[in-house]
Amino acid sequence: MSEACCDNPKLMKNIVILISGGGSNMAAIVRAAQTQSWEKRFGARVAAVISNRPDAQGLVFAQKQGIPTQTIDHTSFASRASFDQALSVAISQYDLPTQPALVVLAGFMRILTPAFVAQFEGRLINIHPSILPAFPGLHTHQRAIDAGCMFAGATVHRVTAELDFGPILAQAVVPVLANDTEQSLAARVLTQEHLIYPSAVRALISG
């Protein structure tokens, strides 16, 4: 991508990150975008951070970086479909005529409706704390320990209507140690998440 292209706001690739809590993966992506000059080199920027929880601490980090934030409280909606519709409207304001926004789930603890997934198909990605297809869903670290796994890890994947089943973009592997607890294994995996998620996003926006 040329410098002239990057200077044209109509060609900017907006990245919208969805969070529910501390947003450590979001922060890792933001820091990578800053230190690696994504806007100048690839014409891409983190354009917004949206949370379904008003108390999500990740919003504070994003605001300190000058990134627009928004809260769409899921408890204010009568159904998943109505919440997803409001979320869709919020994300779509960052779509540009030539560049629809990349939607990055970073600890976003909501199961999305098939209609929402279909709307953003091909530009919706997630990170899951296991080596998929092993251990989709919740409590992945304890399940890996209980199963006697020698290795655990994380997976960046495209989001499809089937939970934790989309095409794999990147994976990382860590050893499961004899004295591991759910918390210690989660911490070890998280350090790898902070490496592979920004890398996977960069690969997508750099084309």
Residues identified as active-site: 128
Residue of 36, 38, 17, 40 lying closest to 27 (CA atoms): 17
- What element of type H or E holds 201? helix 182-206
* Helices and strands (H, E) in the chain, number of each type: 8, 7
- What element of type H or E holds 116? helix 114-119
CA distances from 124 to 37, 79, 145, 167 (A): 22, 21, 30, 11
**Strand partners for 75:** none
